[in-house]
Structure 1
Amino acid sequence: MADDTTHWGPTRRALLGWSAGVGTLSTWGCSTLSTPADTMGAETKSELDEILSDLTDQSGRFQPISTEEKKARQQRCAEVLQKNHVDALLMEAGSTMDYLCDVSWGKSERLFALILLADGNAFWISPAFEAPRAQEYIEKGNGPVGELITWDEHQYAWSPLAEELRRRDVARIAIEPRARAFAAQMLAEEFGPERVVSGQGVVRDLRGKKDEHELALLRAVNELTQEAILKVSERLRPGMTDYDLGRWVRRAQERLGLRGVWVLPLLGETAAYPHGRPEGRSLTSGDLILVDTGGSLHGYQSDNTRTWIFDGQPTSEIERGWNAVRDAQRTAFDVMKPGLPCRAIDSAARNVLARAGYGRGYENFAHRLGHGIGMDGHEEPYLDGGNELLLEPGMTFSDEPGIYLPGKYGIRLEDIVVVTEDGADHFGEWQANPTSPSA
């Protein structure tokens, strides 16, 4: 991999000239790979801010989830636990805790966790020496009110935690899926393995169906990501590298107000691997570009992929492949509605590609059709060929078919969709053709 510091591309003066005349931003309401854009220096950032000066922070136009909304979620969590016949849910700091309150905490070998109970109560557990700070963070973060159970260094958390669970007549406790394995393992040893269960279904029922506020944030963040891709595409010139492309797409989204931006920028045959790597390739007319990227707006994620030909027309082979991927994406969207199993949506897209001559199963479409998205970029539920879960209104997914031909090219199109009462809706605009990421 080439040193990104030696491949910044065309001069700033030339780029500023190229970007002149580009219209201003309209004001409308997969695991991923970081690139050397993450090491962008202050000088490069300043130069990009000049080039992208027409992009301004839009985050203030959208309201974050309020404290009152999060408190209502805490109460709803108790109902979900009852529905799943579980007495408690243990979670470490992360997206589910963020979903319920504004308490943040770093992870280490020392357990800090929130335990929500099916009777509507809660308690916390923390290292004893961290208790004053923990109490402060819980109060400032509007965390669920409950006792703070502490443990000393010679004890470890598991015996005090199990004792408190017994005192509260907890028979079964679910472990939030993104909690670390040692939390479940050590608690099971102390509390009983038959009493410690997966929290996958609990968290899916709690977070899987988005409310109107969540859908508004998801729509906004995905529209902003699409706008960033489009604005960068209008400024691309020969000689830029895939590293440059990653920096530009990242900075464009940051200027629009997104945080935690990631970019997978691929040129030519490197796109034949779904999670390929940029290699310092230089952009030339007629090259295939694949950009998979996203970021966060008030805690909600975007994830969009666009594939297009730079400064030219696609070959007949690539145009045929691009049209097949587009047809697969639209077909999956068109058949989506409440009551269908997730696997049926994956099958609908896969069958389109098979009929177009791109093989059956995973032959050239090597991954599932889509993943859930919300506060995590990838979350339950998933659109894969084995998932019997039935679609319900408010579920949000990526719709991202692709074809991958190693040594030649890869094509993927990705948009975020939501199941509605009578079908589905999508956020932003579909890509219209293979010559531009525009609608």
Structure 2
Amino acid sequence: MRFSLSTATAVLAAAAFLTPLANGQLITEEPSVAPGPTSTQTPIPEPTAAPTPGNGPSPRGFTNFAFTEYQKLFVSDGVRRWAKEEQALYAGLYSLDLSVPWTSDKPAWKNLTYRSTGEGETAGQFGISKDNATLFFFDGKVHKYDVKTNTWAPDTSAPSLGNDSVPFEFADHIVTDPETGILHGFGPLVPLWTIADPEADGYLVSMAAFDPATGNYTYSYNTNSGGPNGTNPNSLVFSAATKKLYAFEWERTQNDSALFEYDTSSKKWTQLNTTGDAPTSRGGVCFAPAYGGTKLILAGGKSVTDTTGAKNAALDDIYVYDVPSSVWRKMANASKPYHGAACAVTGDFFIIWGGYNVYATGNYTANEDGPAIFNISANTWGTNYSPTPAGTPPSKDSSNKPSTASQTWAALIRGEMILLAAVVATLSLL
């Protein structure tokens, strides 16, 4: 399963949870930067903060990210806030190995070769090829990163859109169909005045698709789509079980479901009528598919009920959505909030990293520890990660071990069976 989150668009478009850049600072903390277009922004020293365990990315929120189960979680760029009007953009590319065991204090991070993709820009939103060999970055051009060799291929020109004036872009979030390899995401906003009455106001959300096999980029919209608000950032996942996209609309103000389903064949949205313990309205969530897309995991974010920002509005809760039944279930809260974090799923494990644990006026505190690990089936948080198959209890999780009484009865039963077998064998010799 693959999932990604766009940082740049989310940060710049959603002023409700991040104010505009105060100083235009760009931090390049990586020693290995591949040749690329020159940026006019000058790197500055990193704000004082404890290093992330495992030589991973320094504390930050709203990174672009994508993952493949049992393989890797990739994170790129991000935002560091340390005061009300002080923030900086990070430039960097990392991977977290999901194929080997590790612990939260010693996660398997790797610092990868990074390159800028435009004037004053960073690597942008990206998706993973279906063979997990290539990362595709988009900023009006296509930039290819080779996962195996840790190198960048020459840039590819933007696909032609004919006479259409709408730019080639993924405005938000990219996910991969593991069967077709097509990358899906939110496309450019389509102004209503360009397709309807010139006096019309507002935008339509479009969905974009990029086929790495052909290089074709397309986008589509429906004037009666009934989809999520296109001017809000939206978290997006792909379900292999239903072969459909699911979007959670950030900071939805209506008192109804924020979960939408998108059919890539009919190109239509459906607002889902969910039941159970639905998440409250929020932004900056982490959203990922699990168990082949039969369940969706949503964690953290920032509450929209705290409009003043005078108190901590970052959230520590986590929910599991069952796709077949359309039911939400609230799970055990994390030990701290995660607003604007990156996440991944492998088997029973949901992994979340980064983001902010405090969101309040004049105080933005980034999570400085290693990834937190949630066992979905056991509904418990821990610090040990193991790439076990779905449904396999962790060996060190005592809650999943048989009780002493049950072990005793099992031993007695085994003893009785052995004794019975011996008697039978003796009688057969008489």
State the TM bucket, normalised to the shorter chain. Answer: under 0.3
| Higher-strand-fraction structure | 2
Higher RCO by CA contacts (8 Å cutoff, separation 6 or greater):
1
Taking structure 1 as the reference length, the TM-score comes to 0.24
Taking structure 2 as the reference length, the TM-score comes to 0.24
| Higher-helix-fraction structure | 1
